[in-house]
Chain A
């Protein structure tokens, strides 16, 4: 159940993750993600769910890959400025090995941003993923909020159906 205080976008992301019901959630630190991560941290250990802090995105790709090999549902939540850290790991194991992974990526650097530096990398996230051959879907202010949770759930199904990592780029800053 999502707390009433959650903003609609974070609430939609939380609802989607709850429907996917992963056994493991890996996460990097993020101010924009604090509502989502906080929701699941409060439930760590309940109903078979574990949420784990990891220090590097590429390490998360390795852990997700190992879990995928065992058929264990899992996902990772990161910010887009961490995409650069994971590309080599992604394209030297799960991508060429056709492993289904789900990575939820919050956007930074656009409208609503308060950090003067972060856009230097983040504005190019889509182009970088495209160049790396990574399939992604986007959710932002142009997407009706009613479609957010459904899109994330379908992305998880799409990863399994198409046997590859799938990223969902999510703008929680109203951008």
Chain B
């Protein structure tokens, strides 16, 4: 959906921390891949450090491709119903080609949630091209099984995520959010430990 008049009324939209809280509640035992510093720090403030969360600290544009790899790797594993990738609009645009490859490979367990605030928030709020980009239309054109613009309310997000978990994907959910943030600390843990903990949890749960 191209950003519209209603979405410009920023105050009426959900903020990212509230969306992340719903994600953590609904995907407590599924792999969740989180994009970059701001989203990661807010999720840590809300949920704490969790083994089912992969913290992609600095690889902007890569989470969707990483999620695709994870979804392919667990395709025949009955213990995980889904892989959820939390992306921003800017990072999605940086790795846009992955949307085509995902449509081509059609991983049925992959869910991509784009929390679209229209800016590169962590670097000072510079605008992205999201305001003129129809993410849902792109996903449909690339052959995704499902692509939905989600109303920016807790109930609508919860319903969309629950539906995505129980429907064969790949599924793209795009939801407009405000640019409001919460105070967070820097997250300076060793990337080796972050990847190792997630991989061990993923494989342990698979055995």
Please give the residue numbers on chain A whose beta carbons come within 8 Å of chain B beta carbons, in ascending order.
Answer: 24, 52-56, 58-72, 74, 88-89, 92-93, 96-99
A70 and B73 CA atoms in complex are apart in Å by 6
Most interface-central of A55, A71, A74, A93 (chain B CB within 10 A)? A93
Contact digits for B165-204, partner A, Cβ 8 Å, 1 yes 0 no: 0000000000000000000000000011011101100110
A138 and B148 CA atoms in complex are apart in Å by 47
A-B pairs with beta carbons under 8 Å apart, 16 shown: A52-B104, A59-B65, A60-B65, A63-B69, A66-B68, A66-B70, A69-B199, A70-B74, A71-B203, A92-B57, A96-B192, A97-B191, A97-B192, A97-B194, A98-B196, A99-B195
Please give the residue numbers on chain B whose beta carbons come within 8 Å of chain A beta carbons, in ascending order.
Answer: 54, 56-74, 95, 97-98, 100-101, 104-105, 191-192, 194-196, 198-199, 202-203, 206
Asked whether A69 and B198 contact (CB < 8 A) given A59-B98, A59-B101, A63-B72, the answer is: yes
A89 and B192 CA atoms in complex are apart in Å by 16
**For chains A and B in complex, what number of residue pairs have CB atoms within 8 angstroms?**
110
- Judge whether A69 and B101 touch: CB under 8 Å: no
- Residues of A contacting B: mostly: helix
> Chain A contacts of B97 at CB under 8 A?
54-56, 59
> Chain B contacts of A67 at CB under 8 A?
69-70, 72-73
A60 and B61 CA atoms in complex are apart in Å by 12
Q: When the two chains form the complex, which single residue of A53, A69, A70, A93 contacts B62, counting CB atoms closer than 8 Å?
A: A93
